[in-house]
Amino acid sequence: MQFRRKLLLNGLKFGDVFLLCVTFFLVTWFFYARGNVIYVFDQFLAVRIKIENVILIGSMIVAWHWIFSAFGLYQSKRLSSLREEILDITKATVTGTLAMAAVTMLFDIEMVSHGFLPLLWIMATATICLSRVCLRISLRWMRHKGRNLRNVLIVGTNHRAIKFAEEIGAKSELGYRMMGFADERWHGLENWNHDKFPLVASLENIPAFLRTVAIDEVLIALPMRSYYQSASHIVAQCEEQGILVRVLGDLFTPKVAKPSIEDNLGQHSTFILHTGAIGDQAILIKRIIDMLIAVPALIVLLPCFGFVAAAIKLTSPGPVFFIQERVGLNKRRFSCLKFRTMLPDAERQQAQLEHLNEVQGAAFKITHDPRITRFGRFLRRTSLDELPQLINVLKGDMSLVGPRPLPVRDFHEFNEDWHRRRFSVRPGLTCLWQVSGRSALSFEKWMELDLEYIDQWSLLLDLKILFKTIPAVMKGTGAT
């Protein structure tokens, strides 16, 4: 999140510089051309450029960028209204225009006309304001569509926690969904508004709640003096499961001093505890690589899809695809696509075969599973049954590389919280387990490899896994 915010702010800075240059260019062209309606564009470009004009443009870019930064145009505006932002922009452009006027008078630089600076101010203000309006509309539209929503659990029910929930909950464009509060029983809870602010867990039940509910962030608003041990325990639980933690930074109430932390959530200073090496920057890089590979791969593999689909229909009655609910990023469930390799009623038969399970832990494997069709065994050995998951990659449910998505049945069998940290990243088509022996490895080793991938992630590691997957699949080592 921090990386995306920095990327957005840098984009705003370059965008403002570009708009200012374009505005200066258009205003200059307007004053040159207005006395002659047949003045053509190439004649304007042929006008001799004076050195003082070049200096003026360069100084304008540097000065206006500094002025815009000083007026806070590149700070977070999530909790600021459009009116407040437009007012800040107007103040900044007025200051920039006055600075340009002072420079031209001080160095006796001849402007095109006396009306040049007023028109420049009007156009610069209008274009910068329009860019911010477009940005707000785009972000609001994306979040109203349910994209990039983050589920938040607030720990604490004091006035600080309530104020945070009210301010963030009232701004749907922020993209945060309040899942509820967690706290112990205290005398003030008799008047608690359960409809607006549901109390979903006690402090002791937070670990169990995090195991089963999709939570992206936990925000701790407990009074640290009396709840330090409880807060430390919650942080440890979130760290173990790979859940991002925020702590309200206003732990103290000084009369003059203000808390100042680089990463802010609206007007609330926070610091973040993020587990693993796959942060915001890595997520963006992985998503770009996923799209660059998955799109052409799907196009190239379309004939293969047709062949496999026809073979499935000819060799076994039932649908071509097997769609199963699986557990993905932060325990969100999604419909995972595969080519069907078993009999149509295979899931109903699984309960009768549990006693034949050859894997210890939260997994189900039988070497000679009677439910697998003859052609399905070939698909599994070659991993061709996994190819439809490229569609899941395009949808954003999965990545090319990451821990394999688990069925809901296996997820419910987890008995160690440290196993659940594998859900802190998107599941993948292939992983370290896939290229290190596949299903021949024990469940514990499988989980260890998943966490090793999360903690030691790098772009090079992803590329190595992708390249090792092909020979591993061709050998069929460990496949069932």
pLDDT of residue 321: 94
pLDDT of residue 40: 47
Q: Which residues contact 393 (CB under 8 A, 6 or more apart)?
A: 290, 294, 399, 400, 429
Beta strand pairing status for 150-155 and 176-182? parallel
Residue 324: in which H helix or E strand, if any?
strand 321-327
For residues 156 and 76, what is the distance between their CA atoms, to the nearest angstrom? Answer: 26
* Single-letter amino acid, residue 406: L
Q: What is the largest distance, in Å, between two alpha-carbon atoms of the chain?
A: 92
Q: How far is CA 474 from the centre of its chain?
A: 34
pLDDT of residue 33: 60
Helix axes 82-106, 51-70, angle to 10 degrees: 150
Can you name the CATH fold of 150-273?
A: Rossmann fold (3.40.50)
CB 152 within 8 A of CB 174: no
Provide the percentage of residues in the chain whose pLDDT is more than 90. Answer: 25
How high does pLDDT run on average in the chain? 81
DSSP string, 171-235: -GGG-EEEEEEE----GGGGG--TTTS-EEE-TTTHHHHHHHS--SEEEE-S-HHHHHHHHHHHH
pLDDT of residue 260: 54
pLDDT of residue 88: 86
Region 442-448 average pLDDT: 87
For residues 90 and 121, what is the distance between their CA atoms, to the nearest angstrom? Answer: 9
Q: Show me where the domains of the chain are located.
A: 2-144, 150-273, 280-475
In this predicted model, what pLDDT tens digit does every residue of 106-142 receive, in sequence order?
Answer: 666 665 566 788 888 899 999 999 998 988 888 778 7
pLDDT of residue 352: 79
CB 64 within 8 A of CB 19: no
Please classify residue 424 by burial: count the beta carbons closer than 10 Å to its beta carbon, then call 0-12 exposed, 13-18 middle and 19+ buried.
buried
